[in-house]
Structure 1
Amino acid sequence: MTFVSDLSQSQEYLSFRSSVPLRRIVVDNDNTKVWKIYDCGPKNIKYPLVCLPPVSGTADVFFKQSLALSAKGIRIISAEAPTYWSAYEWCEGFKKLLDYLEVDKIHLFGASLGGYLAQKFAEQTYYCPRVASLILCNAFTDTSVFNNHESAAIFWIMPALVLKRMVMGNFSTDKVDPHIVDAIDFMVERLESLPQADLASRLTLNCIKGYVEAHKLANLPVTIIDVFDEYALSNSVREELYKCYPHAKLANLKSGGNFPYLSRCGEVNLHLQIHLRQFDGTNISASDRSLINIKISG
């Protein structure tokens, strides 16, 4: 019997799925590589906020951000990648996706692995910038924090059940906070939906040796969203991220677990708006102020 979470049956999620179409886009020569995206908000915006999920996540894990921010006139795209086996390959595919969408530059919001890949994309394109700013949530800069470098080479042949157990080992279920419990349940449901190849490729990207050359991102506006309760990464990983971005704005949440964009969506959405507000009135704004004015005046 398939597990069904409370969040996926909520009116908010059902409204999101009924109003925002899932787009499937092929940008590589291999037609089996299909990007899945949800694109909300004004399509005339060429500098949207793009959200990248963690290992266990699908594009719809940012449904709370998509609904709330698009209502504020912000264009927000949630993107789920097909199977790529290296950060370089992932970045090349992502670049093709942006070209397909006719998007010039983006503001990137990445969670965990999504945060790492957001940094790698900014690094790989720094000579011809495609990233206007970064928001990193429970992110890391060096895959050495995971002790699975040797195993990474064989993830591609490991059974899906084994891979899912590896990921679920990082989900702490002893929380009394119902919002965190709901978030974990929703992410477990997303994890269960992932094919073996997709999960194996994500775990490979997460664990294969690599690090971010943060000095190449020194001029980027960065906001770091962190939680101070128990989550999958250690304090030393958080401190290393702070060292890499000494001028970053810090958005510290007292709690929220591994998935604060679900469990503390109000706080996360506020920090995203604060981050994006600095670009209002510029040529890299993620929002259409005229739509906001119409909503206010109406």
Structure 2
Amino acid sequence: MGELTRSQEYISFRSSVPQKKYCVDDDGEKTWTVYDAGPKTVRCPLICLPPASGRGDIYFRQMLALSAAGYRVIAVDYPVYWQLKEFCEGLKKLIDHLDLDRVHLLGSSLGGYLSQKFAEYTYLNQRVHSLVLCNSFVDTAVFQQTSSAPTFWMMPALVLKKMVMGNFDKGIVDAEIADSIDFMVQSLDSLTQQELASRLTLNCKNSYIQPQKLKDIPVTIIDVYDRCALSQNVKEEMYKCYPDAKRAHLKSGGNFPYLSRADEVNIYLQIHLKQFWETRYSAMEPEREAAQTSKQMEPQSSSVQS
């Protein structure tokens, strides 16, 4: 068991944030696992979509910190979907089932790609109010696996896991990045063959983002400057797609900065979400917004008085 799994923080998350399961598809076979933290009255929460290698609990540091600040944060595990349209329809049904309005999406790698595809899928009846894309991509061709993607469903789990772990950093890294890799390896080990095969299929089958359909959605792009699975060219393509996006650069953090550099990522998330305060699409209760605003003004007013 890794350092993060044993940490008081993770134990606190597991004991305070319930894990719920929902079947929203007509066949009743596909189950979404949902972690929901923060005020349930908020109808435009931040929803976190994990990469191919992870489950929803990889965002435990975001859920604890942001819900403590008054935000509603939801993290999910995907059911087995083999088609992007199926996935998007399933996520739409889940959002409806949870009685949500629009949502803010945080997605990492595959999760970021699926966030964009969902925003694209629902652009005529907008369900995504904003996007935060962490170490993500806009075109599956970068993985050079489009021809073999249709065969993933029958590959042994061990082969699929080796494919994913080939992207994990094997060099010398600092303790926080090493802990984040350990945590993600455990998360990867918990996925069934079908779960992993379906995620890799969505990750690699021939598809790309149509940015013209997302031009009205506020976007923040979180990137790291140190080694990660994505090349500089992939990052540049993302910037080209979203020329008006806010860029949040981390000096280091590896593939999983939401675990290894959680404090920095959480600050960027709060900066991103703050722009929606005092609108119907805020991820925070109005009372908490007012309290946060007055708290921020306190040092100013005390210095004026003195």
Note if 1:103 corresponds to 2:100.
yes
Q: How many angstroms apart in 1 are the aligned matches of 2:140 and 2:30?
A: 24
Note if 1:152 corresponds to 2:157.
no
Name the amino acid aligned to 1:73: G
TM-score normalised according to structure 1 size: 0.97
C-alpha deviation, 1:289, in angstroms: 3.8
Q: Which range is displaced more, 138-147 or 170-179?
A: 170-179
Note if 1:28 corresponds to 2:25.
yes
Note if 1:94 corresponds to 2:91.
yes
Q: How many angstroms apart in 2 are the aligned matches of 1:166 and 1:125?
A: 32
Note if 1:73 corresponds to 2:70.
yes
Equivalent of residue 142 in structure 1, options 139, 143, 149: 139
Q: How many angstroms apart in 2 are the aligned matches of 1:187 and 1:111?
A: 13
Which residue does the alignment assign to 2:3? 6
Contact 2:45 2:74 survives alignment (8 Å): yes
Contact 1:214 1:245 survives alignment (8 Å): yes
Q: How many angstroms apart in 2 are the aligned matches of 1:159 and 1:292?
A: 49
Q: Which range is displaced more, 161-170 or 288-297?
A: 288-297
Which residue does the alignment assign to 2:247? 250
Q: How many angstroms apart in 1 are the aligned matches of 2:170 and 2:264?
A: 22
Which residue does the alignment assign to 1:178? 175
Contact 2:277 2:289 survives alignment (8 Å): no
After superposition, the C-alpha distances for 1:262-281 in whole angstroms (9 at most, x for unaligned) are 00000000000000000001
Which residue does the alignment assign to 1:123? 120
Which residue does the alignment assign to 1:165? 162
Which residue does the alignment assign to 2:36? 39
Which residue does the alignment assign to 1:112? 109
Rg larger in structure: 2
Which residue does the alignment assign to 2:270? 273
Ranges of 4+ aligned residues in structure 1 off by more than 3 Å = 291-297
Which residue does the alignment assign to 2:282? 285
C-alpha deviation, 1:6, in angstroms: 1.2
Name the amino acid aligned to 2:210: E
- Secondary structure of the structure 2 residue equivalent to 1:35: strand
- Secondary structure of the structure 2 residue equivalent to 1:73: coil
Q: How many angstroms apart in 1 are the aligned matches of 2:115 and 2:50?
A: 10
After superposition, the C-alpha distances for 1:43-92 in whole angstroms (9 at most, x for unaligned) are 00000000000000101000000000000110000011100001111000
Which residue does the alignment assign to 1:228? 225
Runs (5+) with no aligned partner, structure 1: none
Contact 1:135 1:225 survives alignment (8 Å): yes
Contact 1:73 1:289 survives alignment (8 Å): no
- Secondary structure of the structure 2 residue equivalent to 1:62: helix
- Secondary structure of the structure 2 residue equivalent to 1:150: coil
Contact 2:101 2:127 survives alignment (8 Å): yes
Equivalent of residue 214 in structure 1, options 211, 216, 219: 211
Q: How many angstroms apart in 2 are the aligned matches of 1:212 and 1:240?
A: 11
Note if 1:261 corresponds to 2:258.
yes
Q: How many angstroms apart in 2 are the aligned matches of 1:237 and 1:175?
A: 24
Q: Which range is displaced more, 144-153 or 177-186?
A: 144-153
Contact 1:173 1:181 survives alignment (8 Å): no
- Secondary structure of the structure 1 residue equivalent to 2:209: coil
Contact 2:20 2:35 survives alignment (8 Å): yes
Contact 1:65 1:261 survives alignment (8 Å): yes
Q: How many angstroms apart in 1 are the aligned matches of 2:229 and 2:284?
A: 33
Q: How many angstroms apart in 2 are the aligned matches of 1:215 and 1:294?
A: 38
After superposition, the C-alpha distances for 1:116-142 in whole angstroms (9 at most, x for unaligned) are 000000001000000000000001000
Equivalent of residue 58 in structure 2, options 54, 61, 75: 61
